[in-house]
Structure 1
Amino acid sequence: MATRKEPQITTPNARSKLKSRGAPYYRLVHAGLYLGYRKSKTAGRWVMRAYAGDKNYVVETLADADDGERQPDGVDVLDFQQAQDRARERETEIRADATGRRFGPYTVADALDDYLRDKLGREGRDSAEARRRCGDIAAAIGELEVGKLTKRDIRAWMESIANSPPRLRGGKFAQVDMSDPQVQRRRKDTANRYLNDLKAALNFAVEEDHVAPGAWRDVKPYKLVSQNRPRFLSLDEITRLLNACPPDLRALVNGGLLTGARRGDLVHMRVGDFVPESQAVTIGNRKSRYKGKPPFLCYLSDEGLRFFEAHTAGRDRQEPMFLRDDGRSWREDDIARPLKAANKAAKIKPAASFNVLRHTYASLSLMNGMSQMAVAQNLGHADTRMVEKHYGHLTPDWRKEQARHIPEFGIQVGNVEPIRSGR
């Protein structure tokens, strides 16, 4: 069987003997890849034809050929060997795009994309706030290669955040006094939160074997800038808020106050999660469940037990624990508007979110004698560090009252007074 003779396009002299035509003269590079030479009346150009899968081919122009007086520069004018190399590079990129694989250096933007994709897969929903923060990071340092990322790069980026005013939704900078110590503290606190997001994305990249651990792990956040005094509601504010809530939202707010559960955990809770024989509810803490940790039991007060007994009476175990008045399940995005209206009607300023309800549960429980470990476990924490960090602000009167529980040590106090200077 006769074989097809390939066109001679390897040298300028051989190409000069070809006729001008619109169709390229193709030469096989390897299976699925052809390098072509398209000759016009004035000049010649290199083109490629690569198999992209599913019976599809991609045809692209690569660069000018080194015909006549044009000398190859490896960029705009290529000789035959350079054109082959360029074709192979583009073929790799095309096949990577077709299969979803990454090509080229692994950048900070790549790590953020992978992290967000994993977050969406784990949590089953898109997070606009996470996308916004990761988008801000990518805009600032996304082009940097993770393997070459230095502590100096990250510190300079953090300083740029700390030294600039906050951005408004439209992209403009807010009008704030950057010399104000409170403004400076808040901007450094914001830089710390962005650093946490960056480290989370890079740590995920390490777990997925995209990169090796780098110097970025040693970058420290700004110290003493976090506001470790979460706000909580007084008993009077709780009463006003509950009275202002419509019945369906009131049940959800009650659930938050009686368990300290996050908003997302409440909307995903089922009737069967109530365990009356243990006086507890099962909370599938989404933050820990997707790291392999099981759901946990939150033990209820007597008031909490009475609420859940009444709320679940006669209902199917698979039914969502909290339903809207129209019978539909609550979604996290459904809560903000009615809760805002309830806060306004109750005259609670600033408005209480479900995070505030969580802080209220923890703070009032501690102030009424619950141990830090019990509070931590009911909130789903592995130890007391988060409780100690966020709730060390409890009122001096409460701490003074707690000092009464310090035991007597049997120390004998005589009637001898210490000598003071000046006497």
Structure 2
Amino acid sequence: MAKTLTEAKITTREQRKKLPIGVHWRGIDPEVHLGYRKGKRGGKWLVRWYIGDEDYRQRTFATADDELPEGTLDFDDAVREARNLVAVERRKARAAAEGPLLTVRNAVETYSAARDARDTARKGRPVRSDATSRLTRYVTGQQARGKRKEVEATALAEIALYELSESDLLAWRAALPGALKGTTKQRLINDLKAALNEAFAANRSRLPATFPATIKHALRALNEGDGDADEVARENQILSDVEVARLLGAARDIDAEQGWEGDLFRLVLVLAATGARFSQIARLRVGDVQVKAQRLFVPVSRKGRGSKSGGTPVPIGADVLEALMPALKGRASQAPLLERWRSKQVAGGIRWERVGRGSWQSASELVRPWAAIRERAKMSEVISYALRHTSIVRGIRANLPIRLVAALHDTSVAMIERHYGRFVADGLDELAARSVVPLVPQRDDGDVVSLPQRA
């Protein structure tokens, strides 16, 4: 260690006025000294800290408030700023000693690679996950390719994780396009939060202990008002039984006209009958159709963390069961219930030929046929996810317990109450109305008994 420090009186303006021109030091922490460099016209604050081998590192960081109060620091503010600066520099040195600098870009790219690998394993072919698409577009940037335009990386992408602050994340959130829907924005925020949390879990020794709290508060869920437009759209997608029947009729017609051989109609029918997500329906097996019990054993969703198995028994009507029978006859119980023909383009021409059958793999495969279905049904605004919304609301209106509705649709009571609260309230009002009974007594002749007049 260096020799003992001689403390200078630098805490007030009057004390600093009496000092000679030069640098004067005062200890503020073990191995950290606050310095005051006096010049002919005021002075500067600087800090030095011990780095080992009897050596110090030093930095000038602000102007003292000798002449002007604005844009300068007094002694107390200088102490706080000096301590913060040293803490940041020590974290930086520790991070550099433990390996390459970790940035938000590193965290996002590692997370995206894991999501891509998971989706590739599930679908049996190389795919790019939705999370990767969102994060490259709104965080790390993307190169131009084909019709895809180049997008520059955000300033957030290059910030080192050890110095990532709440204000950095809030600034990124504020800069997101206003045209983004509330649900899309929330998914993007969730993706970034997951990427940063996983980076912390893998590098805890290199990041400050306050890192998780910074992520939690800066990337908290959107305010209720941010999703108002999406909630209105959701309510507009609640279909009547007649409208569902019209869509199914259109699906059957398009299936026949485009040569789907029943594959398209069965897919849409199961979506409507169960209210399950496309990703769940695509994983149904022949053995999941329980004919005697007249129900489908729908696989659980893959949302959330960890591996999941099992399923939920969902009752279906006899008409739905009958429509599924062609997909059951003579097939192994582990075979995919819902399949479609696969085609490839003939070499040297524009003709396509069928090369075999396989399960539905992505919701994007339904985009074109669904457009034809809703055009035939003359329901141009309806989305395929409306079948799920409708199924949930149908259960609520049937006065099923909310917990049962949530279980049948593989979601939580909290999500049901958040997104379908108006329908829950309507159902409760109806139940409450049934409990109302006549209370006013009547005479034998049917007349209402009048209360006696007051004197």
Q: TM-score, normalised by structure 2?
A: 0.57
Equivalent residue, structure 2, for 1:331: 361
Asked if 1:374 corresponds to 2:404, the answer is: yes
Of the three residues 409, 414, 419, the one matched with 1:385 is 414
Pairing of 1:28-67 with structure 2 (within 5 A): none
Aligned letter for 1:371?
Answer: P
Q: Confirm or deny: 8 A CA contact 2:115 2:131 kept in the other structure.
A: no
Q: Secondary structure at the match of 2:105?
A: helix
Aligned letter for 1:337?
Answer: R
Asked if 1:198 corresponds to 2:198, the answer is: no
Change (3 A) 1:328 1:359: same
Asked if 1:123 corresponds to 2:119, the answer is: yes
How far has the Cα of 1:264 moved from its partner?
Answer: 1.7
Equivalent residue, structure 1, for 2:239: 233
Equivalent residue, structure 2, for 1:257: 272
Question: Counterparts of 1:344 and 1:392 in 2: how far apart (Å)?
Answer: 31
Change (3 A) 1:216 1:359: same
Q: Secondary structure at the match of 2:297?
A: strand
Question: Counterparts of 1:154 and 1:411 in 2: how far apart (Å)?
Answer: 63
Q: Secondary structure at the match of 1:240?
A: helix
Change (3 A) 1:279 1:206: farther
Q: Confirm or deny: 8 A CA contact 1:232 1:363 kept in the other structure.
A: yes
Q: Aligned pairs, how many?
A: 294
Asked if 1:105 corresponds to 2:101, the answer is: yes
- The more displaced of 141-150 and 289-298 is 289-298
Pairing of 1:131-146 with structure 2 (within 5 A): 131-135=132-136, 136-138=138-140, 139-140=153-154, 141-146=156-161
Equivalent residue, structure 1, for 2:430: 401
Of the three residues 152, 159, 164, the one matched with 2:174 is 159
Write the deviation string for residues 345-383 of structure 1: whole angstroms up to 9, x where unpaired: 111121322x222112111122122221111111222x3
Write the deviation string for residues 267-325 of structure 1: whole angstroms up to 9, x where unpaired: 22211122345544333334248613322223214445555556524432122111226
Q: Give the unaligned 5+ runs of structure 1.
A: 1-92, 94-101, 167-185, 418-423
Aligned letter for 2:409?
Answer: L
Change (3 A) 1:265 1:370: same
How far has the Cα of 1:228 moved from its partner?
Answer: 3.4
Asked if 1:114 corresponds to 2:110, the answer is: yes
% same residue: 26
Equivalent residue, structure 1, for 2:337: 321
How far has the Cα of 1:256 moved from its partner?
Answer: 0.7
Write the deviation string for residues 98-126 of structure 1: whole angstroms up to 9, x where unpaired: xxxx9512211111112112212223252
Change (3 A) 1:237 1:207: farther
Asked if 1:243 corresponds to 2:249, the answer is: yes
Aligned letter for 2:431?
Answer: Q
Q: Secondary structure at the match of 2:296?
A: strand
Question: Counterparts of 2:195 and 2:420 in 1: how far apart (Å)?
Answer: 28
How far has the Cα of 1:254 moved from its partner?
Answer: 0.8
Q: Confirm or deny: 8 A CA contact 1:251 1:322 kept in the other structure.
A: yes
Question: Counterparts of 1:207 and 1:409 in 2: how far apart (Å)?
Answer: 63
Question: Counterparts of 1:282 and 1:128 in 2: how far apart (Å)?
Answer: 27
Question: Counterparts of 1:409 and 1:215 in 2: how far apart (Å)?
Answer: 59
Change (3 A) 1:258 1:411: farther
Q: Confirm or deny: 8 A CA contact 2:103 2:161 kept in the other structure.
A: yes
Bigger relative CO (Cα 8 Å, ≥ 6 apart)? 1
Asked if 1:344 corresponds to 2:375, the answer is: yes
Equivalent residue, structure 1, for 2:217: 218
How well do the aligned residues superpose, as a CA RMSD in angstroms?
A: 3.4
Aligned letter for 1:202?
Answer: L
Change (3 A) 1:192 1:312: same
Asked if 1:147 corresponds to 2:147, the answer is: no
Q: Confirm or deny: 8 A CA contact 1:278 1:299 kept in the other structure.
A: no
Change (3 A) 1:277 1:236: closer
Q: Secondary structure at the match of 1:394?
A: helix
Q: Confirm or deny: 8 A CA contact 1:340 1:351 kept in the other structure.
A: no
Q: Give the unaligned 5+ runs of structure 2.
A: 1-95, 141-152, 256-261, 342-353, 442-448
Question: Counterparts of 1:310 and 1:328 in 2: how far apart (Å)?
Answer: 15
Change (3 A) 1:310 1:364: farther
Asked if 1:361 corresponds to 2:362, the answer is: no
Q: TM-score, normalised by structure 1?
A: 0.61
Change (3 A) 1:255 1:189: closer
How far has the Cα of 1:152 moved from its partner?
Answer: 0.8
Aligned letter for 2:430?
Answer: E
Question: Counterparts of 1:340 and 1:272 in 2: how far apart (Å)?
Answer: 31
Q: Confirm or deny: 8 A CA contact 2:302 2:308 kept in the other structure.
A: no
Aligned letter for 1:205?
Answer: A
